[in-house]
Chains A and B, each alone.
Chain A
Amino acid sequence: MALSLPGNATWEDFRRYWDLVYVLSARHLKVRYRGSFLGIYWSVLNPLVMTGLYAAIFGNIFATYYDNSLLNYMLAAFTGLTVINLYSTATIQSVNIVVWGSPLLNKIRLPVSVFPVSMVMANMFQFIAGVVPVLAIVTLFTSKNPLNVLLLVFPILSMFLLCVGVAFLVSALYVFFRDLPNFYEVIVFVLGLSTPIFYPPTIVPPNLRQFLVFNPLYPILESLRDIAISGTLPAPYPIVHSLLNGVLVLSVGWLCFQRWRSQFMDLL
């Protein structure tokens, strides 16, 4: 029942929050795949096909930046695509999630934040089940070091923090502005273009390159490539940078969400 919990029941609160996230994420995945288990692998098929396309078109030109190795170019493109795909699906699907939950919010007392969190979790699950095994195999092959495989946790965690933070922001804004998707899709497009996914970061003119620092996906991608395809132990800086970015975006998203939440119910 919608308990009015005493102040000290924090463990109970936590269990309830987790159960809510779990059932809602499971619901999102079920609706997406309608019982077809193979659907999970779509998330890995898509970047594989795109990598093939990029290699066919840009492989000749850009391989020189990757020690003349087409394979290295393909690995770089693949890792880039997995990052941008996760970011764009998780956050774009979160845009309308609070509004989607409005029949429930009008009926049952719920912590509103479970809705964006559940949508990001559904996408993280898909990512971890589909893409991460491929990344782990690649990492093991290139580095021959199981430690690198373990370190994959950090870029994944950074992605999670970043996506949840952005999901809080966009899902809250969408309650007020229902034309937000038009704008947000443009933002994601620009973000994707300014992330060195299929081009080497070194071809960006130096006066523009300094702005890459403001792209939160860039340090994540840098650390992922460092771990998965450089063949050595990664430099700590991009990892720390992307984690701090994630925490920052999450905090901002959470604060805005909590601030605007009191106005939600009149508009849902």
Chain B
Amino acid sequence: MELIRLDNVSLLRRTQEEFSYDLKRTFFSMLEGNYRKPVRRLVLDSINLTVNAHEKVGIVGANGSGKSTLLKLMCGILEPTKGKVRVQGSIAPLLELEAGFDKDISVYDNIILYGVLLGFSRAEMKQRAREILEFAEIEEFKLLPVKGLSSGMKARLGFAIATDVQPDILILDEVLSVGDEHFKMKCKKRIDSFWQGNATILVVSHDLDFIRQYCERVIWLDRGKLMFAGEPQETVSKYLKYST
């Protein structure tokens, strides 16, 4: 069964340095008649892609090639400029783990807040808060503001919240490299259980050995283009050959 389908998807994004975030300047440049429409760059170029249920897909490519952007399109965070994105089932996005927390409120409040943002109900989150604290091994910080946590702890917390309930589709954007060795093992274990289970997984990683070992199919992106998609060994070696 097909869970994710991208048909001829292109995305244009405004280059940020181009834009003046300034009412006064925009107003005057309009008066003087030299207002320019902001320039947009092609970040993803006509991507065609399908992901089937239970598939474990790796995504490789240089920095800035559009891997995170592709995942954001699948999560519905970004909308394509052209083409169509279709997704069936629940997605757990694990992008930039520690970014979503509010550093001024307590760890417990953050669990509720973050869980609701991810789509769980408040009642559900209250029940699950203890398990999450346990998994992240930060029970003793429950009532402290999040700014007191180290970035490793925050990453652990983010991982624990987003993976506490088994989603249909799990998206891992370079999250396997966070935390200390002990927690990495623990994450691996949880991800392994997803791996063995029914979940569909999309994983971005620069750890090519990991990709070769665990993924069933690998997608290689370069400068917004889909260069190759196929069997892991073949794709990774093509990617390596191209990079050197």
- The residues of A with any CB-CB pair to B shorter than 8 Å are 1-4, 15-16, 19-20, 22-24, 26-27, 30-31, 103-110, 176-180, 183, 262-263, 265-267
Residues in A with CB closer than 8 Å to B14 are: 263, 266-267
Q: How far is the CA of A186 from the CA of B104 in the complex (A)?
A: 30
The chain A residue sitting closest to B26, CB to CB, is: A177
Residues in B with CB closer than 8 Å to A15 are: 121
Q: How far is the CA of A106 from the CA of B116 in the complex (A)?
A: 16
Given the contacts A30-B109, A177-B26, A3 and B16 also touching, CB distance less than 8 Å: no
Q: How far is the CA of A1 from the CA of B96 in the complex (A)?
A: 16
In the bound complex, do residue A177 and residue B16 qualify as a contact, i.e. CB atoms below 8 Å apart? Answer: no
Interface residues of B in 119-157 (CB under 8 A from A): 119-122
In the bound complex, do residue B93 and residue A108 qualify as a contact, i.e. CB atoms below 8 Å apart? Answer: yes
Given the contacts A27-B109, A266-B16, A4 and B76 also touching, CB distance less than 8 Å: yes
Interface residues of B in 202-230 (CB under 8 A from A): none
In the bound complex, do residue A27 and residue B167 qualify as a contact, i.e. CB atoms below 8 Å apart? Answer: no
Residues in A with CB closer than 8 Å to B105 are: 27, 30-31
The yes or no answer to B118 lying at the interface (CB within 8 A) is yes
Residues in A with CB closer than 8 Å to B119 are: 1-3, 16
B 28-43 binary contact with A (CB < 8 Å = 1; else 0): 0000000000001000
Q: How far is the CA of A20 from the CA of B79 in the complex (A)?
A: 21
6 contacts between A and B (CB under 8 A): A1-B165, A2-B90, A108-B117, A177-B26, A178-B21, A179-B22
Q: How far is the CA of A7 from the CA of B112 in the complex (A)?
A: 27
The chain B residue sitting closest to A101, CB to CB, is: B117
Q: How far is the CA of A215 from the CA of B218 in the complex (A)?
A: 61
When the two chains form the complex, which single residue of B40, B87, B122 contacts A22, counting CB atoms closer than 8 Å?
A: B122
The yes or no answer to B92 lying at the interface (CB within 8 A) is yes
Residues in B with CB closer than 8 Å to A266 are: 13-14, 16, 40
Q: How far is the CA of A108 from the CA of B100 in the complex (A)?
A: 9
Q: How far is the CA of A108 from the CA of B113 in the complex (A)?
A: 12
Residues in A with CB closer than 8 Å to B109 are: 26-27, 30
In the bound complex, do residue B122 and residue A23 qualify as a contact, i.e. CB atoms below 8 Å apart? Answer: yes
In the bound complex, do residue A107 and residue B95 qualify as a contact, i.e. CB atoms below 8 Å apart? Answer: yes
With A1-B118, A4-B89, A109-B76 given, can you name 6 additional A-B contacts, CB distance below 8 Å? Answer: A16-B121, A19-B122, A20-B116, A20-B117, A179-B23, A267-B14
Residues in B with CB closer than 8 Å to A104 are: 99-100, 117
Residues in A with CB closer than 8 Å to B122 are: 19, 22-23
The chain A residue sitting closest to B169, CB to CB, is: A1
In the assembled complex, the CB of A30 is this many whole angstroms from the nearest CB of chain B, namely 5
In the bound complex, do residue A103 and residue B21 qualify as a contact, i.e. CB atoms below 8 Å apart? Answer: no
Given the contacts A31-B105, A103-B99, A267 and B16 also touching, CB distance less than 8 Å: yes
Residues in B with CB closer than 8 Å to A176 are: 21
Q: Which 4 A-B pairs have the closest CB atoms?
A: A1-B90, A177-B23, A266-B14, A109-B76
Residues in B with CB closer than 8 Å to A107 are: 77, 93, 95-96, 99-100
